[in-house]
Structure 1
Amino acid sequence: MQGSANLNLMKKAARKVGRALVKDFREVENLQVSAKGPGDFVTRADREAEKTLREELLGGRPTYGFFGEETAETEGADPTRRWIVDPLDGTTNFLHGLPHWAISIALEHKGEIIAGVVFDAAKDEMFWAEKGGGAWMNESRLRVSGRRSLSESIFATEIPAIGKATLPASLQDFARLAPVSAGVRSWGSAALNMAYVAAGRFDGYWARGMRPWDIAAGLVLVREAGGLLSAVREGHDPLINGTILCSNEPLFEGFRKVIRGE
């Protein structure tokens, strides 16, 4: 249950950044905010968080690569391993004073995500998983939900903001799923949505227009909690394609058919 040295390094880095972000979150009105684009903001806290994660993770594993949201990718001396990091997933929530955001750290080895941490610092919930070691939240083992019917299930997604090319398709997805489900939620953090699927809080999740740092840690969390996942279209890699769909096994095929419009 303790995890590997790599996983412990990831947890330590996430907690260090989490303490700083919680402090900034309490003073959110004083943050320096600059616009990266319509509906997509970056804060001083965001940049400082990634800087700290880079220092902590590469300090512990200096030969690994580093791929983060806010800075250019760094290739390590070991080309088979890299950190994939979102220092603040749910930035818009953070800026609006909504306590639903997370630090996401994944470790990739030879193209496969082998470990992931999603830390909800505001609620002190550390979701973590390692290939073959199960998925956990703090000290509790996680399993995906046991629901078997779409009509009894709650799903999560991302409703894109102004100017996003994926908005029309996402609204069509929503229009197909909402009438046959118990509800659809859009809470503004891809990393936490996937962690919640792993924890059985959401029965499934799908999204379009995702970047690798949005979903990398969630991939191993869902798999190790017993869930299934794929890109929206069969045969694609979610980290490359940018679409993701995941749920428990009984719901998966029906859920996927609804989202695909089949």
Structure 2
Amino acid sequence: MSDSKMEPAVGRKSFAAVAINSASKAGEWIKTKLGGYTTLNLKSSSADLVTEVDKGAETMIRNLIMTHFPDHSFLGEEGVEPGPEASASALRAVLEEEYVWIVDPIDGTTNFVHGFPYFCVSIALAYKGEVILGVVYDPMRDELFIAEKDKGAYVHGKRMQVSRDATLRESLVATGFPPSQDVALPLNMRQLEAVVPKVRNVRSNGSAALHMAYVAAGRLSAYWEVGLNAWDIAAGYLLIHESGGRVTGLKGEPYHLGVRNVAATNGRIHDELLQVLQSAEQAEGPGPGSGSDVRFQV
């Protein structure tokens, strides 16, 4: 695609400038609300939460983006009903659009609700189904991770590189525990049991986007999780890709916006991690929720 397609200026604002401004403003507002939300509702389960702060932040981001790019499409978590079928339908509805902004206003809402300072704003932009921009902003640490297609990934203005760990044995890895406790969680627990003896240690801090940003920055060597959505992964995918890492589905299929079960690594340990995860899945048969593609969730 041409440079003019990649970086148009509308009102003298580039894609990256608008994404950075939107993430920063929303993140700073979210930070002021820590411990001060007024409504808490359950979505798909007791582990799947939403507050008025999530909704307010998404509205803020949408308004900021649409001010500059009114003809673009917008896919935000809080505008989609809970559950994989609703997520699949919402994604299909925008896949044919030229430009789609994909937003999770608070990735790590459970942490936010409990005052645990590990959550972020995640904003990605896809052009004809391909992610070309990713921004993850951690307001508690004032860390902004950004990647543009073919331009590298940066944090604190410094280019990021994935870790150089060559084996699982020397790697610090992360996972997450899905809110779908009757479907995805059993698979996740089998995977965890298989991975723990193979690695240096495992972390689970509760934000997919931040875990992926940490893989891009070399702070983690790998991250995997089942039952995610496009808004959880899209920005983090580009951060890792532009930092020299690798992101696939759990069967090794190339990343696309429909991937729900994800493995993200420094690349060096990717095949080894997939082998361990696949052995855990095969031990109990594929089971429900083992597919990694949104197309199999309808």
Indicate the residue corresponding to 1:44 in structure 2: 52
d(CA) in 2 for partners of 1:66, 1:12: 17
- Structure 2 residue 77 is the aligned partner of structure 1 residue 69: yes
Q: 1:22 aligns with which of 31, 38, 54?
A: 31
Indicate the residue corresponding to 1:8 in structure 2: 17
1:141-187 Cα shifts (integer Å, max 9, x gaps)? 10000011211101111123473410111011111110010011111
Q: Percent identity?
A: 37
Indicate the residue corresponding to 1:33 in structure 2: 40
Q: 1:109 aligns with which of 99, 124, 127?
A: 127
CA RMSD of aligned residues (A): 1.9
Q: 2:183 aligns with which of 165, 169, 179?
A: 165
d(CA) in 1 for partners of 2:238, 2:106: 19
1:224-243 equivalent positions in 2, closer than 5 A? 224-235=242-253, 237-243=255-261
Query: Secondary structure at 1:240's aligned position in 2?
Result: coil
Q: Which amino acid aligns with 1:34?
A: N
Q: CA deviation at 1:247?
A: 0.9
d(CA) in 2 for partners of 1:205, 1:11: 25
Q: CA deviation at 1:260?
A: 1.1
The runs of 4+ residues in structure 1 deviating greater than 4 Å are 72-76
- Structure 2 residue 201 is the aligned partner of structure 1 residue 183: yes
Q: 1:209 aligns with which of 227, 249, 264?
A: 227
Structure 2, unaligned runs of 5 or more: 1-5, 8-13, 81-89, 283-298
Between the two proteins, the alignment pairs up a number of residues equal to 257
Q: Does the 8 Å contact 1:128/1:136 carry over to 2?
A: yes
Query: Secondary structure at 2:244's aligned position in 1?
Result: coil
1:115-194 equivalent positions in 2, closer than 5 A? 115-161=133-179, 163-194=181-212
Q: 1:245 aligns with which of 240, 258, 263?
A: 263
Q: Does the 8 Å contact 1:38/1:163 carry over to 2?
A: no
For the structure 1 residues 236 and 102, does the alpha-carbon distance in structure 2 shift closer, same or farther, using more than 3 Å as the test? same
1:226-250 Cα shifts (integer Å, max 9, x gaps)? 0011100133645313011011122
Q: Which amino acid aligns with 2:40?
A: V
Query: Secondary structure at 1:216's aligned position in 2?
Result: helix
Q: Which amino acid aligns with 1:45?
A: V
Q: Which amino acid aligns with 2:158?
A: S
Q: Which amino acid aligns with 1:242?
A: R
- TM-score, normalised on structure 2? 0.82
d(CA) in 2 for partners of 1:164, 1:226: 35
For the structure 1 residues 140 and 166, does the alpha-carbon distance in structure 2 shift closer, same or farther, using more than 3 Å as the test? same
Q: Does the 8 Å contact 2:37/2:53 carry over to 1?
A: no
d(CA) in 2 for partners of 1:125, 1:157: 21
Q: Does the 8 Å contact 1:38/1:162 carry over to 2?
A: no
Q: Does the 8 Å contact 1:126/1:137 carry over to 2?
A: yes
Q: Does the 8 Å contact 2:119/2:210 carry over to 1?
A: yes
d(CA) in 2 for partners of 1:164, 1:221: 31
Q: Which amino acid aligns with 2:52?
A: R
- TM-score, normalised on structure 1? 0.93
Q: CA deviation at 1:202?
A: 0.5
Query: Secondary structure at 1:239's aligned position in 2?
Result: coil
d(CA) in 1 for partners of 2:177, 2:122: 20
Q: Does the 8 Å contact 2:100/2:127 carry over to 1?
A: yes
d(CA) in 2 for partners of 1:134, 1:124: 20
For the structure 1 residues 164 and 20, does the alpha-carbon distance in structure 2 shift closer, same or farther, using more than 3 Å as the test? farther
Q: Which amino acid aligns with 2:153?
A: A
Q: CA deviation at 1:132?
A: 0.7
Indicate the residue corresponding to 2:276 in structure 1: 258
